[in-house]
Amino acid sequence: MAPNEPLPSRRDFLVQSSRTAAGIGIAAVLGNLGTWALSLGADNEPIKVGVLHSLSGTMAISEVSLKDVVSMAVQEINAKGGVLGRQLKLVVVDPASNWDLFAEKAKQLLVQEKVAVVFGCWTSVSRKSVLPIFEEHNGLLFYPVQYEGEECSKNVFYTGAAVNQQAVPAVEYLMSKEGGSFKKFYLLGTDYVYPKTTNKILRAMLLAKKVPAANIMEEYTPFHHQDYQTIVGKIKKFAAGGGACVISTINGDSNVPFYKEFANQGLRAEDAPIMAFSVAEDELRGMDKTALVGHLAAWNYYQSVDTPQNKQFVANFKAYCKKNNLPDGEKRVTDDPIEAAYFGVHVWKQAVEKAGTTEVNAVRKAVYGQKFLAPGGEIMMDEANHHTNKPVLIGEILKDGQFKVVWRSKGLVKPEPWSEYTNPDKGCDWVNHQGTYKKA
């Protein structure tokens, strides 16, 4: 204030300040009105749904199909009026098979985009790298791929198989009379967490079932390994005299050279079948199947499952791929992770409708015990441990890259995130315990 200017009179001051106050008041009311109007509008605003799958890089081969099926499921739901009267809006990000980028993109989805739920991840590394983000920001992730277990997160629903829903029954089948009463097991895998943990559990299980340690071989190869001469030679020596089988957790592009070498060195599925946990219809699509015929795989779903829902699902997926000009169009196939990704979206939708909100804590509770008629048959979300009760199917590879089911579990198999063989004292329960707990 300049020194010669007269001081404002008291009256002036009062008028001035009341005016200001009124202004603020009106502004506040207007502001409130605005937020209120906005919140009214939000009820009809679309719900944002995140997709976190690699669309480029090494994992694109498997993960692109999952993005496709999630967007198909979202389209289906939107066509039927959406969820809680609101449409779903996909937010697709591409973490490019890069684990650090997975964490970054997950954060982007949760913090910036504020998505209600995320469908995503394939490899265990990618899942492990986004876990802290989901836990910190209380997000919700639906994870659709079979994995090694030993995890129990409050923020993840696992719609793929735990080890006791795939690997363990597969080996039990091979040991059974109808599976061929195999006595020697060659555990062969790619050198990373899923094969190593799975084989640790399988080894403990085989030893518990009185298979002598000399009859169990374990071997790992680097990613992209191409030269299987020595290993197949070893398998041949191991299989001499009969009664041997191979449990394969080989991942990705190493499978083709392995099966080729296996056949070329004169080994056949009849001598020593290969039971694979990572070879599904989608991977077989581009492969030369001649060397693979007769070998086995264990999954919870096959495209060949003969139910009306599945026929519809397969037809829908092919039509969707064709309509949207996706690569290979009508030649696309469905497989286990594709089915798991698909019903994950529907399970979430049912849970949101049950909870009446997309708020994560309410939805989580609503997921427990949720049933859904999936393409492969009815599944049930577990009542406490965040995994899925699913059937187990063992299939034989056919010439056309499809599977013939040779064995099927009786009913649904209850998931065990902590294997009874390696961690008999641990359990996972988010209702009565806080996640992983020690069994009394």
Partner 1 sequence: MDESRHRMKLFIGIGMIAASLGWFAIGSVAAEAQANVSPSPQVEQALADVSSEVEGTREQAVRLLIEQGDASLLPRMEALRADADRSLRMAIKPVIDIWRNRANLASPDADTRRTAATDLGTNGRPAAIPWLQAAAANESHRWVRYAMEESALLLKLASNNPAGQQQAAAKLGDMRSQNAVPALQALVQAGIDESATAEQKALAQTATAAIERIESWNVWSSAIETLFRGISLSSILLIMSLGLAIVFGLMGVINMAHGELMMIGAYATFVVQECFKLYVPESWFDSYYLAALPAAFLASALFGLILEATVIRFLYGRPLETMLATWGVSLILIQGARMYFGDLTAITAPSWLNGGTQVLVGVFLPFNRLFIIALSILSVIGIYVLLFRSSIGLRVRAVTQNRSMSACLGIPTRKVDAYTFAFGSGLAGIAGWALTLVGNVEPGLGQNYIVDSFMVVVTGGVGKLAGTIIASLGIGGLNKLMEPSLGAVYGKVLILVLVILFLQRRPSGLFAVKGRHAEG
Q: Which residues contact 336 (CB under 8 A, 6 or more apart)?
A: 146, 160, 161, 280, 299, 300, 301, 302
Q: What angle do CA 106, 107, 112 make, to 5 degrees?
A: 115
Closest contact distance (angstroms) between CB of 290 and partner 1 is: 6
The owner of tokens 């071989």 is 217
Closest contact distance (angstroms) between CB of 318 and partner 1 is: 16
Q: What angle do CA 127, 129, 133 make, to 5 degrees?
A: 100
399 sits near partner 1 (criterion: CB under 8 A) = no
242 sits near partner 1 (criterion: CB under 8 A) = yes
Distance CA 393, CA 369 (A): 22
Nearest to 381 by CA among 357, 354, 347: 347
Q: Is the dihedral of CA 327, 331, 337, 343 positive or negative?
A: positive
92 sits near partner 1 (criterion: CB under 8 A) = no
101 sits near partner 1 (criterion: CB under 8 A) = no
Instruction: Indicate the residue among 288 and 425 with the shorter CB distance to partner 1.
Output: 288
241 sits near partner 1 (criterion: CB under 8 A) = yes
172 sits near partner 1 (criterion: CB under 8 A) = no
Q: How many helices (H) and strands (E) does the chain have?
A: 12, 17
410 sits near partner 1 (criterion: CB under 8 A) = no
327 sits near partner 1 (criterion: CB under 8 A) = yes
400 sits near partner 1 (criterion: CB under 8 A) = no
Closest contact distance (angstroms) between CB of 280 and partner 1 is: 12
Of the residues 12, 100, 136, 227, which one makes contact with partner 1 according to CB under 8 A: 227
Closest contact distance (angstroms) between CB of 56 and partner 1 is: 7
Which range touches partner 1 (CB under 8 A), out of 1-9, 114-122, 140-148, 217-225? 217-225
Of the residues 32, 290, 361, 434, which one makes contact with partner 1 according to CB under 8 A: 290
Of the residues 60, 84, 90, 319, which one makes contact with partner 1 according to CB under 8 A: 60
Within 191-307, residue ranges assigned H as helices are: 193-208, 229-239, 255-264, 281-284
Closest contact distance (angstroms) between CB of 401 and partner 1 is: 11
Q: How many positions of this chain bind partner 1 (CB under 8 A)?
A: 46
Which range touches partner 1 (CB under 8 A), out of 102-110, 241-249, 386-394, 418-426? 241-249
243 sits near partner 1 (criterion: CB under 8 A) = yes
The owner of tokens 């086995």 is 296
Closest contact distance (angstroms) between CB of 293 and partner 1 is: 13
Closest contact distance (angstroms) between CB of 286 and partner 1 is: 4
Given a contact cutoff of 8 angstroms between Cβ atoms, the answer to whether 127 and 121 are in contact is: yes
219 sits near partner 1 (criterion: CB under 8 A) = yes
Distance CA 360, CA 115 (A): 10
Nearest to 296 by CA among 392, 198, 193, 209: 392
Instruction: Indicate the residue among 225 and 322 with the shorter CB distance to partner 1.
Output: 225
Instruction: Draw the binding track, 250-269, toward partner 1 (x: CB under 8 A; -: no contact).
Output: ---x--xx--xx-xxxx-x-
Instruction: Indicate the residue among 82 and 243 with the shorter CB distance to partner 1.
Output: 243
196 sits near partner 1 (criterion: CB under 8 A) = no
Instruction: Indicate the residue among 32 and 290 with the shorter CB distance to partner 1.
Output: 290
Q: Which residues contact 189 (CB under 8 A, 6 or more apart)?
A: 195, 196, 198, 199, 219, 220, 221, 248, 249, 250, 251
The CA-atom distances, in angstroms, between 124 and each of 19, 36, 226, 337, 344 are 63, 43, 23, 14, 18
CA atoms within 13 A on the CB side of 1: 6
User: How big is the chain, counted in residues?
Assistant: 440
285 sits near partner 1 (criterion: CB under 8 A) = yes
Instruction: Indicate the residue among 101 and 263 with the shorter CB distance to partner 1.
Output: 263
Distance CA 33, CA 35 (A): 6
The CA-atom distances, in angstroms, between 419 and each of 164, 167, 202 are 7, 11, 10
Residues that bind partner 1 (CB under 8 A): 56, 58, 60-61, 177-178, 191, 219-222, 224-227, 229-231, 233-234, 236-237, 240-243, 253, 256-257, 260-261, 263-266, 268, 270-271, 283, 285-288, 290, 327-328
